[in-house]
Structure formats: C-alpha cells, structure tokens
C-alpha cells in the first residue's frame, strides 16, 4: 500500500516535471528573443558614426508609422541607420537564424550531428554559380543587380535536387544524402577552382570575396526576400516538430512504426533547409559554421525536443552572426572583416570545445 502510494507520488511528479520543464523552455525562448532584439538595437548604434538608442527608436517608429510620428533627429544619422546599419543588422539576424534552422533540420533527418546544410553541397554549388555569374555576368548594371544571387541560388537548388533524387532512388536514406552531398561538394569546389584559374585579377577578387560571405552592402530587398523565406519555412517545420523528435530519437523503422511518413518528412526538411540557406548565401556569400554551431549551442541549452529547438536555434544563430559581424566591423575599424571569416575564427574553437566536452551521445 505504502509503496503503491509512493509510486503514484513519483509518477505524478514526473508528468508535472515534464510540464514545468516545457513552460520554462517557452520562457527561455521568449526571454532570449527579447534579449536578441536588445542586442540588435545596441549593435545597430555602434560603429564609426555613433548614435543613440533614442535616435534608433525614433527612426524605427517613424518608418513603422509611415511618417505619422516624425522623428526629430539628425538626417545624416537617420540615413546611416536606415540604409546601412539596420539592413545589415536585420540581415545578420535572419541569416544566422536561417542557417542555424537549416542545420537543425539537416541534422535531424540524417541523425548526424556533424551535418549542416553545406554538407549536402549547397554552399559549393552556390559558390560555383556565383563564380560563373561573376565571370560571364553582366556585372552591376541595373538589370544585372540580381544576376549573381540568382545564379548562385539556382545552382544551390539544382545541387539539392540532385542529392534529393539520388536519395530518392535509394529509398530516401540519410546516409545516401550525406554521401551524395559530399561528392557534389567536391565536384563544385573543383569547378569553382577551375573557373578561378581562368579569371582575371578583378574577377578573382570578387569570387574570393564572395566565398567569404559578408554583409557589406546588404539592401532592404535582400532582407525582405530572406525574411519571407524564413516566415514560411519556420512555421511549416514547426508543424512537423514532433515527427522530427521521433525520427531523431528512434530511427527510421520505429518512426515509421509510429505512423510517420519518413520519406515525406525528409523531403520537406531538405526543401525547407535548402531554400532558406540558399536564399541567404546567394545574397551574403558563403557563411560557414553557423549551421553547425547554432544547432549545437541551442541543443546544449534547451534540449533535443524540436518544438523548442527549432525556434531557439534560430535565436542562437541570430545572436552568433550578429556578434560575429559586429566583431568584424569594430575589431580593425575602419576595415571591415567579412563575417564568414570571423565566424570561422570564433566558431572553430567553440566547436572543438563542444567536441571535447560533450557527452558520449555526440560524436560517438
């Protein structure tokens, strides 16, 4: 009798603990989102021409109310904020979120913590697309403004379709995707090298610059496209969050025995992760590592339940890229170091630390 009551007591505690942990995770996500916005605000006002949070606030309010509440601020500062700082800061957040989100999806469907969207060849395909666009493209004329990003995007997507069809032929297994992706990655890298070989000095400089992704000169239209991609992809993935849990924890056979159409889930995840990461890198160039570290940091802090992991990894990725870009802007000011380089310098030590300190379930 006593042991029965004790058992009932422990059991009640377990369900309650689970519920409480869920509520705490929601709070953590909400709080860190607010933290992200504050960080973005303070980063937006740092730089060569210093402004204040008040100025930033006034400018944002004026824009959001379509001028109804006019900002009485210095016009020069307002222009710097609106056309230089804000698009850059917002793009840093969206890019970080997109890459990290794509990393979570790719790791989930391959059940492999070392995979990122780039593992399936997206980045090198985009780099190759950008290279040939720069080589044979129409340059920076008005009509050609989108030529490089568009070509990069098409190649990234074409690569994903190749990986996808190979995997489909072999029953949509996770391993096939990784192996095909890595093979294509080498192929596109070789082709990019071949293009660089025949490039002129000026073209070569632009190609190299592109392969070290940067947020220089990001405009609002790019921000808009990337934001729309995320606004569609994140809710779609969130709907399938529980299915991702089943696939990562239990494996293909058990997931299928739980009623999940694993092939459809893999297809959706590849489509969403490739779309958001290809959109971002076609505008910014290749920014590595965020897609690998973002998911890991997020998983470390909030656990592997994708209902929380998906939104939280977006926040982690956004913070990471925001900090890296700011560091790149101010470290050797006025020289701006491309964010792709900073991320690698900051990211590799962080990642190695994770590898060495993680419990056995990773990297085993």
Partner 1 sequence: MTPCLDIQSVCFGYKTRPVLRDLSFTLDKGHILGLVGPNGAGKSTLVRIVLGLLAPGSGRVLLDGQDLRGMTPKARARRIAYVPQSAPLSFPSTVFETCLLGRTPHMGSKPAPRDLQVVENILTRLRLEDFAFRLLSELSGGERQRVMLARALVQETDILVLDEPTSALDIGNQLFTLRVLSEVVRERGATALVAIHDLSLAARFADRLLLLNKGQVEAHGEWSSTLTEASLRDVYGVNVEIGMVRDIPMFAPYENR
What is d(CA 339, CA 212) in angstroms, rounded to the nearest whole number?
8
Q: How far is the CA of 219 from the CAs of 60, 122, 283, 359, in angstroms?
A: 16, 23, 9, 42
Question: Which range in 95-103, 158-166, 251-259, 331-339 contacts partner 1 by CB under 8 A?
Answer: 251-259
What is d(CA 157, CA 168) in angstroms, rounded to the nearest whole number?
16
Exactly one of 2, 18, 141, 334 binds partner 1 (CB under 8 A); that residue is: 18
Instruction: Tell me: does residue 34 bind partner 1 (CB under 8 A).
Output: no
Smallest distance from partner 1 to CB 163, Å: 20
Q: Residue 198 contacts by C-beta under 8 Å, 6 or more apart in sequence?
A: 135
What is d(CA 310, CA 120) in angstroms, rounded to the nearest whole number?
20
Respond yes or no on whether the N-terminal peptide bond of residue 334 is cis (omega within 30° of 0).
yes
Return the number of the residue (11 or 355) whose C-beta is nearest partner 1: 11
User: Is residue 136 exposed (0-12), middle (13-18) or buried (19+ Cβ within 10 Å)?
Assistant: exposed
Question: Which range in 88-96, 153-161, 228-236, 245-253 contacts partner 1 by CB under 8 A?
Answer: 245-253
Instruction: Tell me: does residue 25 bind partner 1 (CB under 8 A).
Output: no
- Write the interaction track for partner 1 spanning residues 70-109; mark x where CB under 8 A is met and - where it is not: -------------------------------------x--
Q: Report the b/e string of 1-22 with b at 16+ CB within 10 A.
A: eeeeeeeeeeeeeeeeeeeeee
Smallest distance from partner 1 to CB 244, Å: 10
Return the number of the residue (11 or 194) whose C-beta is nearest partner 1: 11
Binders of partner 1 among residues 297 to 316 (CB under 8 A) are: 299, 303-305, 307
Exactly one of 259, 335, 349, 356 binds partner 1 (CB under 8 A); that residue is: 259
């Amino acid at each position: 009798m006593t042991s029965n009551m004790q058992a009932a007591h422990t059991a009640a505690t377990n369900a309650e603990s689970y519920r409480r942990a869920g509520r705490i995770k929601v709070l953590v996500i909400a709080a860190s989102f607010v933290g992200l916005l504050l960080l973005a605000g303070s980063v937006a006002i740092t730089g060569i021409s210093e402004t204040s949070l008040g100025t930033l606030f006034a400018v944002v309010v004026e824009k959001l109310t379509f001028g109804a509440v006019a900002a009485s601020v210095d016009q020069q500062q307002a222009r710097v904020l609106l056309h230089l700082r804000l698009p850059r800061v917002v793009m840093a957040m969206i890019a970080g979120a997109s890459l990290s989100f794509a990393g979570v999806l790719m790791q989930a469907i391959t059940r492999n913590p070392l995979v990122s969207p780039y593992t399936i060849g997206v980045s090198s395909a985009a780099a190759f697309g950008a290279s040939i666009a720069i080589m044979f493209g129409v340059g920076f004329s008005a009509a050609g403004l989108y030529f490089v990003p568009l070509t990069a995007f098409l190649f990234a997507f074409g690569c994903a379709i190749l990986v996808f069809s190979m995997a489909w032929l072999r029953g949509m297994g996770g391993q096939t995707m990784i192996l095909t992706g890595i093979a294509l990655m080498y192929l596109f890298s070789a082709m990019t090298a071949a293009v660089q070989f025949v490039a002129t000095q000026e073209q070569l400089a632009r190609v190299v610059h592109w392969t070290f992704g940067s947020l220089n000169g990001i405009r609002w239209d790019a921000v808009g496209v990337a934001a729309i991609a995320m606004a569609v992809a994140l809710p779609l993935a969130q709907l399938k969050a529980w299915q991702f849990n089943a696939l990562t924890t239990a494996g293909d056979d058990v997931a299928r025995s739980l009623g999940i159409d694993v092939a459809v889930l893999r297809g959706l995840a590849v489509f969403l992760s490739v779309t958001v990461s290809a959109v971002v890198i076609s505008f910014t160039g290749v920014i590595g590592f965020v897609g690998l570290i973002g998911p890991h940091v997020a998983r470390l802090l909030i656990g592997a339940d994708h209902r929380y992991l998906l939104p939280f990894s977006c926040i982690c990725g956004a913070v990471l890229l925001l900090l890296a870009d700011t560091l790149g802007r101010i470290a050797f000011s006025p020289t701006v170091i491309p964010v792709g380089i900073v991320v690698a310098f900051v990211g590799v030590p962080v990642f190695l630390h994770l590898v060495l300190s993680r419990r056995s379930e990773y990297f085993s």
